[in-house]
Amino acid sequence: MLSESRLESALIIAPHPDDEVLGAGGLLARLKRQGTSVHVIFACVDGMKHYGLSHRTTTDQRMCEVRRVADLLNFEFSVLYQGLDLIEKVDTVPQRDLVTAFEEAIDRLRPDLLALPHGVDFDQDHIACFRAGFAAARPIPASCGKHFVSRVVTYEMPKLTWSEQAFQPTLYVDIAADLGTKLEALKMYESQWRTVPHLRSAETITALARLRGSESGVEYAEGYRIYRWAV
């Protein structure tokens, strides 16, 4: 389970709005209660035609959703590419540009914890963000002028059931006290919310949290994969 030692700051990299809540909404709610400073970087915010909606979303609509969720979970956020028709095309951005953006954020914000989307995914935007974030967090000593992030993890989302390799958590975060807040935040992403049996339904998200909880001895949990945990 997540150490009770207080984290001063955390950085979450999310390819699109709602990924941060699907993967780490319980953790975000818990960090809010602990007074941790949290910043979320959204790689891309755009309108698009979604399966399950009869109309196309707009960039303004998506940004309105982001602001509501940020207010609920008390995080600051920034957007790399807004309204540029890059949704599901982030992999077309030069990786060096993504790495530089993430490096600059890491050095500026100096997080104790960096959470990335998992790298084994059918979504090319998620893969691009993982690879760039992983490169940005490479272990260059602080004496060289680069912030060393002591804790680097990837987060899980229900859609990873459709993956070339099953997600295998090596870190569990107890979210029994925070599942309600996570679901509330997800419902604020009205353009993304779906009913069962969709993977972004309350029932599916709750079922995954119950599974991870059963693996770690609590009622509900989120699973993460540790890439670095230096103490």
pLDDT tens column, 74-111: 999 999 999 999 988 999 999 999 999 999 999 999 99
Task: Convert the pLDDT of each residue in 116-142 to its tens digit.
Answer: 999 998 889 999 999 999 999 999 988
Please classify residue 216 by burial: count the beta carbons closer than 10 Å to its beta carbon, then call 0-12 exposed, 13-18 middle and 19+ buried: middle
3-state helix vs strand vs coil in the chain, percent to 5: 40, 20, 40
Looking at the predicted structure, is the pLDDT value of residue 158 above 90? no
Query: Could you give the angle at which helices 59-73 and 179-188 cross, rounded to 10 degrees?
Result: 160
End-to-end Cα distance, the chain: 15
For the chain, helix (H) and strand (E) counts, in that order, are 6, 7
How is the chain split into domains, by residue range? 9-229
Tell me the mean pLDDT in the region 147-151: 96
What's the chain's average pLDDT?
A: 92
Task: Convert the pLDDT of each residue in 17-45 to its tens digit.
Answer: 999 999 999 999 999 999 999 999 999 99
- CATH homologous superfamily of domain 9-229? LmbE-like (3.40.50.10320)
Looking at the predicted structure, is the pLDDT value of residue 50 above 70? no
What confidence score (pLDDT) does residue 54 get? 63
What confidence score (pLDDT) does residue 4 get? 47
Tell me the mean pLDDT in the region 179-195: 90
Please classify residue 49 by burial: count the beta carbons closer than 10 Å to its beta carbon, then call 0-12 exposed, 13-18 middle and 19+ buried: exposed
What confidence score (pLDDT) does residue 190 get? 87
Bridge partners (DSSP) of residue 226 are 153
What confidence score (pLDDT) does residue 16 get? 95
What confidence score (pLDDT) does residue 133 get? 98
Whole-structure pTM over 0.85, yes or no? yes
What confidence score (pLDDT) does residue 189 get? 93
Q: Residue 197 — very low, low, confident or very high, per pLDDT cuts 50/70/90? A: confident
Query: Could you give the angle at which helices 124-136 and 95-109 cross, rounded to 10 degrees?
Result: 50
